[in-house]
Structure 1
């Protein structure tokens, strides 16, 4: 039914009831703007507006996902000394929830007692959904606790919203705890409960828990949907469990659930993380037979699989295939392709891809720039690597530990000790702690480039960190520490006893072979 805006003359002959019905009609078609115009026109015509018509206007804003106009109507009611009702608060809460305004939703909960109102289960559910949208897991748990304190019986919707808030806030243990609490309060979890809990396990990299939840879902004679399977497959992907992921995808049809592009992308990513590049490419190639059109996530995972085994030609071919498809390449797919070129020491291709990124209107990020710097470093193009570093600073792209590591390594290859030491100083200013590999590269730059006066200082810092690492039993680069110890001895500095013991432990077997 069409509800045309009324002229001021026409509205003068209308009753408040008829105007309210007209706003209700506009609400059903999400025409919030026209509803507000009608509300304003009613006021200008001298009609005495009640709480009900304001409630309908707020609901129209909520239907249109417009929280700011809804707030304006609510504030207007208070200025005109109209006391909001429970319906007013629920409608406003719905608008805040859809607008992801969790703070305003919680504030409204605090305001309700001032108006003599008691928050209902519906109000709490809307506030919980707002917390979920805002990733406010702590606020959601507090609201659920308050419901029990106020002797309000939470339902499956309130529990699901709380689990979803924990999931979005990456609190898998709280999500599972809330899931378990449902049965303690005689509330039966539904498929949505399990889906949210499995998704929380995926974000927490708890694939075993996700598998157990799927088994429990089946035991309760609930029917998993494609969202259930995708949550489980994503959890398996995070755990690099490609064998189980392949079996789960194959079993989906037993439940009359058909894999979608998200399902396939998760399986391809699981193969990629397990260095099963052949399977990743086979899964991608088989998507047309599955009547699924590969998306950018699937392509990016396949490109990354090729990158890990240094098949840069395959990676570039996949990127070109992605460009020809309906899916659009993004920064992630370009970053994977640039990394593949870096591993293949194809710095020209890497820089060309970085240039294409800008021409397509995509902004390079830390990962793509790091990959390009690494490509230059591995190919001995230290000057280009340092120029890329300068460009990153100019574009205000965040410099990470990997950025400095690749840049200082390029200085070592170019025997540029001055630039290496300058970058070390920059790291100190940026409060980034150089690891042993970075310090070792700086030592190499000093040793080879003539900056021998600074080498002992760096070596002493390596020795100090080495002793700490040895005592903590967290040694990751023993070879570098042995080299540091030998360099210290060459410069005439005493070697720490842990380093000497390490040198004997690593070098001993080799010396015995030489004898």
Structure 2
């Protein structure tokens, strides 16, 4: 990347500029990593040798592979990498989700007697979070004492978060307990991650107890805290009673429910009237709202909700239809021939039963009975009267299907 005179002027680089001026210019590049690399190269052409600060400033913004190469290159120019240069390369790996490379760099620091700091460990732990390596994250947290380092809030929160992501509630609770034994105070992120970990593993009683203990730590729960518990109630016995209690707690705490609150709550309802009430109370419904309500309905109620869904300007998707007797329909389709299903869709077209036609088409697509042009056209015909959004969506799907079939023929 060649640099023009205008670019040098913009970066305040002049013929008399020294290494400090060049380093300031490199620092100003930030995300423009190609420009910072060009400046490093240009320094050599101006008879200036980049120092360790020059490299340390540019490395954090490089792509992870380029960052590791740049770190190795430092040793070739008689410079000794320090904790900042290693930290920058590890940070680049963390951003890209390459936890293996981040870990290798941490181990390499020991070979060149560079002592890592808490920020270095936090970057590697964050990389483990992206890579869902919870055991390694817990191990790294324990390694801090080896270097006489003290974990901070970010260290603990990142480890709890990776345990939550991997559904390891016991590990999350253990790390949370370790946080409480330090001079640090758990914050909202600490509590919410631990609550979510317990809720994911159906430990709703422990999650509720954690929210109750937030007051002792002077941490105010938010809607995310309660949403985790409601989501964890789904599929459990007496789910709606527990969810109703959480909704009452939200009201007592003067916390406004979110769309996620309503969607998750509707999924736990075992009575149509209650689902109807929640649906009416939801301020801005979306596809998931209707899909959750449809899941708890009988056939006729599901049809009614599908109709209401389109009245709200929404097009039913696979989730909405999967909630509507999906398994029963799959069994039906798999037991008959493709021509029989196509004939049934054609009958639905004549009767104007577009939801049934769509259901059959979606199930065909999910089973070995592949829909063809006739199936699509019949379903499009069923949607023509008033269901113009769905009709257009199906026409688009038909074009994609025909293109895929053409590609398959070419490959054969």
Structure 2 length as normaliser, TM-score? 0.71
**Distance of aligned partners of 1:374 and 1:198 in 2 relative to their CA distance in 1, 3 Å threshold:** same
Deviation at 1:243, TM superposition (A): 0.9
Counterpart of 2:264? 301
The 5 A counterparts of 1:317-466 are: 317-322=277-282, 324=283, 329-341=285-297, 346-352=301-307, 355=310, 359=313, 366-372=318-324, 374=326, 377=329, 383=345, 384=355, 387-388=358-359, 390=361, 403-404=366-367
Q: CA deviation at 1:211?
A: 1.3
Residues 73/287 of structure 1: CA separation in 2 closer, same or farther (3 Å cut): same
* Counterparts of 1:376 and 1:352, CA distance in 2: 21
Q: Is the 8 A contact 1:350 1:372 kept in 2?
A: no
Deviates more, 1:102-111 or 1:246-255: 102-111
Match in the other structure for 1:444: none
1:160-171 to structure 2, matched below 5 A, reads: 160-171=122-133
Answer yes or no: is the 8 Å Cα contact 2:163–2:172 preserved in 1.
yes
Whole-angstrom CA distance in 2 between matches of 1:344 and 1:388: 12
How big is the shift at 1:47?
Answer: 4.3
Q: Is the 8 A contact 1:224 1:255 kept in 2?
A: yes
C-alpha distance after superposition, 1:353-378 (max 9, x if no partner) = 66468x45x8x765345335729939
Q: Tell me, yes or no, if structure 1 residue 61 matches structure 2 residue 29.
A: yes
Equivalent-residue separation in structure 1 for 2:369 and 2:254 (angstroms): 43
Distance (Å, rounded) in 1 between the aligned partners of 2:273 and 2:95: 42
Q: Which runs of 5+ in 1 are unaligned?
A: 1-35, 394-398, 409-515
* Distance in 1 (alpha carbons) for counterparts of 2:110 and 2:258: 45
For residues 176 and 290 of structure 2, the distance between their equivalents in structure 1, rounded to whole angstroms, comes to 35
Rounded to whole Å, the distance in 2 between the matches of 1:161 and 1:347 is 48
Shift in Å at residue 110 of structure 1? 3.2
Structure with larger Rg: 1
CA contact (8 A) 1:389 1:407 kept: no
Q: 1:300 to 1:93 in 2, by over 3 A?
A: farther
Q: Is the Cα contact below 8 Å between 1:265 and 1:297 reproduced in 2?
A: yes
Q: Residue 182 of structure 1: which of 130, 144, 151 is its match?
A: 144
Match of 2:381 in 1: none
Q: Which has the higher contact order (CA 8 A, sep 6+)?
A: 2
What is the Cα deviation at residue 193 of structure 1? 1.5
Q: Does 1:315 align with 2:270?
A: no
Q: CA deviation at 1:88?
A: 2.5
**Partner residue of 1:52 out of 4, 16, 20:** 20
Q: CA deviation at 1:39?
A: 4.4
Point out where structure 2 has 5 or more consecutive residues left out of the alignment: 333-340, 346-354, 372-412
For 1:392 and 1:57, how far apart are their aligned partners in 2? Answer: 59
Asked if 1 retains the 8 angstrom alpha-carbon contact of 2:29 and 2:35, the reply is: no
Distance 1:39 1:386 in 2: 62
For residue 84 of structure 1, the aligned residue among 50, 60, 64 is 50
**Count of residues in correspondence between the two structures:** 347
- The residue aligned with 1:140 is 102
CA deviations 1:331-359 (Å, max 9, x no partner) are 54444234334x565342353366468x4
- The reply to whether residue 120 of structure 1 matches residue 82 of structure 2 is yes
Distance 1:388 1:210, change over 3 A: same
User: Cα–Cα, structure 1 residues 257 and 47, in superposed 2: closer, same or farther, change >3 Å?
Assistant: same
Secondary structure at 2:234 match in 1: helix
What is the Cα deviation at residue 263 of structure 1?
Answer: 1.1
CA contact 1:374–1:385 (8 Å) conserved in 2:
no
TM-score where L is the length of structure 1: 0.58
Render the CA deviation track for 1:67-108: whole Å, top value 9, x for unaligned: 2x2322322441563543322322223334xxxx43333333
